Amino acid sequence: MGLLECCARCLIGAPFASLVATGLCFFGVALFCGCGHEALTGTEQLIETYFSKNYQDYEYLIDVIHAFQYVIYGTASFFFLYGALLLAEGFYTTGAVRQIFGDYKTTICGKGLSATFVGITYVLTIVWLLVFACSAVPVYIYFNTWTTCQSIANPSKTSASIGTLCADARMYGVLPWNAFPGKVCGSNLLSICKTSEFQMTFHLFIAAFVGAAATLVSLLTFMIAATYNFAVLKLMGRGTKF
C-alpha cells in the first residue's frame, strides 16, 4: 500500500498539461530545426545547380541561409532549456495548487517567478506566431513550383503553352532581378521537380512547418496552464492543478 499510495500521489500531483506541452515542444522544435536546417541546405543546392551559374547572384542568399541555420542552432538550444524550465515550473505550481491542506505554502517569490514565466511565454508565443507564418512561405513557393510541374506533366489540363510555364526564383525575391537565368521553364522545370533533391527539400519544408505548428500549440498550452495556475495561487490559493 505504501508503494501504491506513493505512486498515486505522484500521479495526482503531476502537471499533465505541462508534460504534454513539454513533449510537444521538444518534438516540434526538433522537427522544425532539423528539417528546416536540411531544407535550407537543399534550397541552396537547387539554386546553385539550376537557377544561377554566377556566384554573385546568390552570394547574399547563401549568407542569409547560413545566418538562419545559426539561428536554428540557438533556437533549438533555447527551447529545450526553456521547455525543461517550464516543466519544472509546472511541477512547482501544480504542487502548490493541489496542496489544499498541509504545511506547504507558496511564497511571494514563487508567485513572482510564476508570473515571470507567464509573461515570457506570452511574448515567445507572439514571436513564434510570426515564425510559424514565415515557415509557410517556402512551403507556398515549393507548392507553386510543384503545381506548375503538374501542369507541365499534364498539358491537357492547361491552355497555356508548356514553354511558358516557369518557376522564377527572382519573382519571390530569392534571386536579384539581374540574375541569369533566374527561372526554369517547360520540360527543364519538370525534370527538376522529378529530382530527389527537389522532392526531399519540399517535404522537409512541410515537416518544418508542421514542427512550427506543434511548437506554437505547445506554447499556447504552456501559457494557458501557467496562467491558470498563477491565477489560482494568486486569487484562491487552491484549485485543480493544471
What's residue 240's pLDDT?
Answer: 42
What's residue 118's pLDDT?
Answer: 86
Task: State whether the Cα torsion 187-59-134-22 is positive or negative.
Answer: positive
- Helices 108-153 & 186-193, crossing angle to 10 degrees? 130
- CA 167/CA 97 separation, integer angstroms: 57
What's residue 105's pLDDT?
Answer: 52
What's residue 95's pLDDT?
Answer: 56
Strand partners, 184: 167
Prior bond of 155 cis (ω within 30°): no
Q: What is the DSSP string of the chain?
A: -HHHHHHHHHHHH--HHHHHHHHHHHHHHHHHHHHHHHHHHHHHHHIIIIIBS-HHHHHHHHHHHHHHHHHHHHHHHHHHHHHHHHHHHHHHHHHHHH--SSS----HHHHHHHHHHHHHHHHHHHHHHHHHHHHHHHHHHHHHHHHHHHHHH-GGG-SS-GGG-EEEGGGGTSS-TT-SB-EEEHHHHHHHHTSHHHHHHHHHHHHHHHHHHHHHHHHHHHHHHHHHHHHIIIIIS-----
All cell numbers assigned to 103: 504545511
Residue of 28, 5, 18 lying closest to 208 (CA atoms): 28
Q: Where are the domains of the chain?
A: 21-90+108-235
**Residuewise pLDDT in 10s, the chain (242 residues):** 456 665 555 555 567 778 888 999 999 999 999 999 999 999 999 999 999 888 898 899 999 999 999 999 999 999 999 988 888 877 776 654 455 434 445 555 656 777 888 899 999 999 999 999 999 999 999 999 999 999 998 888 777 788 889 999 999 988 998 888 889 999 999 999 999 999 999 999 999 999 999 999 999 998 888 887 777 666 655 444 44
